[in-house]
A and B are shown apart, each in its own frame.
Chain A
Amino acid sequence: MTATAPHPRLTKAPTDPHRARGPRLPVRLLPLAPAVVLLLLFLAGPIAYCGYIAFTDLQLTGQAQESFVGLDNFTRAFGDEEFLNAVWLTLVFTVLSSLIGQNTLGLALAALMRRASKPVRTLTGGIVVTAWVLPEVVAGFLLYAFFRREGTLNAILDWLHLPSQNWLFTLPILAVSFANVWRGTAFSMLVYSAALNEIPKEITEAAEVDGAGGWRRMWHVTLPMIRRSIGTNLMLNTLQTLSVFGLIWVMTRGGPGGRSQTLPLFMYEQAFQNSLIGYGTAVALLLLLVGSLFSLVYLRLLRTEV
């Protein structure tokens, strides 16, 4: 490369320092090199490797060389009840916690905050954001304590004379979904607060003068105006939720009996508890494909002027 070229700046007229093309392009792009090398080696590399070993029977131990097995891992997955169970649970988890929970609660909080008094707004915002900033594993513990048989939720139910139960055993997927709502709502709240702030006051006031009530204003005026934020927020929430591992791992380990085993936990179990790296990777590849699809939709939604 031409990294040793002496001060290219000096030889150029300073009036045109941002020329699009020219011999100095490689030099200009040189600062990208460390990032690109790292990204290629440690991100693109593993993804490509993922695309390879998903088609092999690579195992953790006792096998010198993996061999190519074609689509075996995938046909196996779609005939595997545990896999289908994990797909179903991932769907439930995503719909409950991200599409419904985080999204709706986040929007509701953002909308309420616009009307609430400042101390209440600050307090609530602070609490919700703290839940979000906590390390994943700590959040897992707190919710584990909350949902356990001896935990806080049952204490409240007892106090209200409602039947208590062992939530992590009877409704594990519901418990981890609530945990994810607890942990992830702050993001939607912040996104929607920003979006609502950008709506000109005149528009909502005009609707109010025209006699539109709160719900109608929300439905006919506010929601259409923030629909792009809704779209991007849904995408990001979904992607986030698809990759939740630590939270569920700490709370239930995917159990009992696989009843809270979403795809990332299934992938982990196959690869490590069952030593089937090839099979686990095939699941990973499927997860990655779903993620990429969402990611592409997200890019379309952004329609950003990069």
Chain B
Amino acid sequence: MALTLASRRTTRRLAADAGLLVVAAAFVLPLAWVVLSALDPAANLRVKTPDGLTLDNFDAILTPEITFTPLLNSLVLCGGATLLTVVCAALAAYPLSRFRSRFNRPFLLTILFATSLPITAIMVPVYALFVRVDLIDTVQGTIFFFTASQLPFAIWLMKNFMDGVPKELEEAAWTDGASSLQSLLRIVLPLMGPGVAVVTVFSFVMMWGNFFVPFMLLLTPDQMPASVSVNDFFGNRGMVAYGQLAAFSLVYSTPVILLYVLIARRLGGGFALGGAVKG
């Protein structure tokens, strides 16, 4: 009996392994293309063994015009917006987590509602509005909009992490005469360091990959972040150099993949995302 159960388990495990490997193979093909083509001197659109290995594709794209300026733009845009998001979210989460008030519930429900609104839908009116108030084609305007679109989720996440910090420590500080701001900065935030890191990285990753917002709100090519400039490989350069396109995609994607790996464990053996998806 024990033996049959054990062998049934083994069969089942093998079947599950086989199933997963089939899916993994299907999923890995496009990823394999980008890695192989980046190293291939004669890359085309197929997954194939490279005709020799080369770093020429990287050499060709690692110029200020193609790579460094767009990546720097991305960094300024997403870095600025992330900083603003985290500061505003930490401040906002504090009263929501620490004090009971009749505003909390409606506020949090509104935030949760806004979290799932399709931001894509409002890009046309945002464009029209930005033209009217002269924020169009400005980095700060784009940063503000990025921040606002990321804030609902960031506040929600931050509040949930903050709820995990016990109040007793803070109360002791209050007795000693610390203000709320002091206790937030000196006690609560350090204690929820990993939570702050998750919000920071998550916001950054979301914005780094976002195409539509800068595509709409920025016009000057010099200001474009990598998410938009990568499009030029198709548009302006005539014949597409697929090897270079692949190399650029790798360079552009690597930072966010590394950052994600950094926080993946926090986000979850279940991608808790602070309860936003908890059923």
A residues bordering B, Cβ < 8 Å? Answer: 7, 9-10, 14, 17-18, 20-21, 25, 28-32, 34-36, 38-39, 41-43, 45-47, 49-50, 53, 58, 105, 108-109, 112-117, 120-121, 123-124, 127-131, 133-138, 141-143, 145-146, 148, 150-152, 155, 182, 187, 190-191, 193-195, 197, 226-233, 235-236, 239, 242-246, 249-250, 264, 267-268, 271, 277, 280-281, 284-285, 287-288, 291-292, 294-296, 298-299, 301-302, 304, 306
Residues of A within 8 A of B148 (CB): 38-39, 41-43
With A28-B99, A145-B33 given, is the CB distance from A124 to B23 under 8 Å? yes
List of A residues within 8 angstroms of B265 by Cβ: none
Which residues of chain A are within 8 angstroms of B30 by Cβ–Cβ distance?
131, 142-143, 145-146, 152, 182
A46 → chain B, closest Cβ, in Å? 4
- Give, as a whole number of angstroms, the nearest-CB distance from A199 to chain B: 12
Indicate whether B161 reaches chain A with its CB closer than 8 angstroms: no
CB distance from A24 to the nearest CB of B (A): 9
Known A39-B114, A49-B129, A304-B112; 13 more pairs at CB < 8 Å: A9-B180, A115-B13, A116-B13, A116-B17, A123-B20, A128-B24, A128-B27, A131-B31, A138-B230, A141-B245, A141-B249, A267-B124, A280-B124
Q: Is the CB of B118 within 8 A of A287?
A: yes
Of the residues B29, B123, B230, contact of A152 by C-beta under 8 Å: B29
Q: What is the CA–CA distance of A257 and B264 in the complex, to the nearest angstrom?
A: 41
Residues of B in contact (CB 8 Å), total 109
**Contact A243–B271 (Cβ < 8 Å):** no
Residue in contact with A43 in the complex, picked from B13, B28, B149, CB distance below 8 Å: B149
Contacting pair A18 B98 (CB below 8 A) = yes
Q: How far is the CA of A83 from the CA of B121 in the complex (A)?
A: 15
By the criterion CB–CB under 8 Å, are A46 and B126 in contact? yes
B88 in contact with A35 (CB, 8 Å): yes
B178 CB contact (under 8 Å) in A9, A21, A235, A242: A9
CA distance A284 to B117 in the complex (A): 12
Contact A287 B121 (CB under 8 A): yes
A-B contact pairs, 28 of them (CB 8 A): A9-B178, A17-B174, A41-B144, A58-B128, A105-B23, A109-B23, A112-B16, A115-B12, A115-B16, A120-B16, A123-B20, A123-B21, A124-B21, A133-B253, A138-B252, A191-B279, A229-B277, A233-B279, A236-B277, A246-B215, A264-B121, A267-B124, A277-B128, A281-B128, A288-B117, A301-B279, A302-B112, A306-B112
Interface residues of B in 255-279 (CB under 8 A from A): 256-257, 260, 264, 268-272, 275, 277-279
Contacts of B277 in A (CB 8 A): 191, 229, 232-233, 236
Given the interface contacts A14-B175, A243-B118, does A133 sit within 8 Å of B256 by beta carbon? yes
Residues on the B chain within 8 Å of A127, using CB: 24, 27-28, 31
Tell me if B122 counts as interface (CB < 8 A to partner A): yes
In the bound complex, CA of A295 to CA of B47 (Å): 40
Query: A135-B227, A151-B45, A190-B270 known; A295 and B116 CB under 8 Å?
Result: yes
Q: Is the CB of B91 within 8 A of A18?
A: no
Q: CA separation between A58 and B13, bound complex, in Å?
A: 61
Q: Which of A120, A123, A194, A299 contacts B112 (CB under 8 A)?
A: A299
A288:B112 contact, CB within 8 angstroms: no
Question: Smallest Cβ distance from B240 to chain A, in angstroms?
Answer: 10
Cβ of B88 and Cβ of A34 under 8 Å apart?
yes
- Taking a contact as CB atoms under 8 Å apart, the answer to whether A46 and B129 are in contact is yes
- The answer to the question of B205 belonging to the interface, with a C-beta cut-off of 8 Å to chain A, is yes
Q: Assess whether A133 is in contact with B257, with CB atoms less than 8 Å apart.
A: yes
CB atoms of A271 and B124 under 8 A apart: yes
Task: Say yes or no for B220: interface residue by CB 8 A criterion.
Answer: no
Q: Which of B120, B149, B171, B205 has the most CB of A within 10 A?
A: B120
Partner of B104, one of A155, A242, A294, A306: A306
Closest residue on chain A to residue B113 by CB atoms: A295
Question: Does A123 contact B108, Cβ atoms closer than 8 Å?
Answer: no
Stretch in contact with the other chain, from B50-58, B61-69, B206-214: B206-214
Query: Across the interface, which residues of B come within 8 angstroms of A123, CB to CB?
Result: 20-21, 24
Shortest distance in angstroms between A173's beta carbon and chain B's nearest beta carbon? Answer: 18
Chain A positions within 8 Å of B210 at CB level: 136, 246
> Using a CB-CB cutoff of 8 Å, which residues 83-121 of chain B contact chain A?
84, 87-89, 91-92, 94-96, 98-105, 107-109, 112-114, 116-121
- List chain B residues, Cβ under 8 A from A193: 269-271
Find out whether the CB atom of B257 lies under 8 angstroms from the CB atom of A31. no
Evaluate contact between A137 and B227: CB separation under 8 angstroms. yes
Whether B238 sits at the interface, judged by CB under 8 Å, is no
Taking the complex as formed, is B152 at the interface, i.e. its CB lies under 8 A from any CB of chain A? yes
Q: Check A194–B175 contact: CB distance below 8 A.
A: no
Residues of B within 8 A of A246 (CB): 210-212, 215, 227
Docked CA distance A30–B242 (Å): 53
Top 4 A-B pairs, shortest CB-CB distance: A194-B270, A228-B279, A135-B209, A229-B279
CB contacts (< 8 Å) of A280 on chain B: these are 124
Q: Are A243 and B121 in contact (CB under 8 A)?
A: yes
Given contacts A20-B100, A28-B99, contact A34 B125 (CB under 8 A): no
Whole-angstrom CA separation of A109 from B108 in the bound complex: 33
CB closest chain-B residue, reference A115: B16
> A20, A30, A133, A143: which has the most chain B beta carbons within 10 Å?
A133
Contacting residues, chain A, for B178 (C-beta < 8 A)? 9
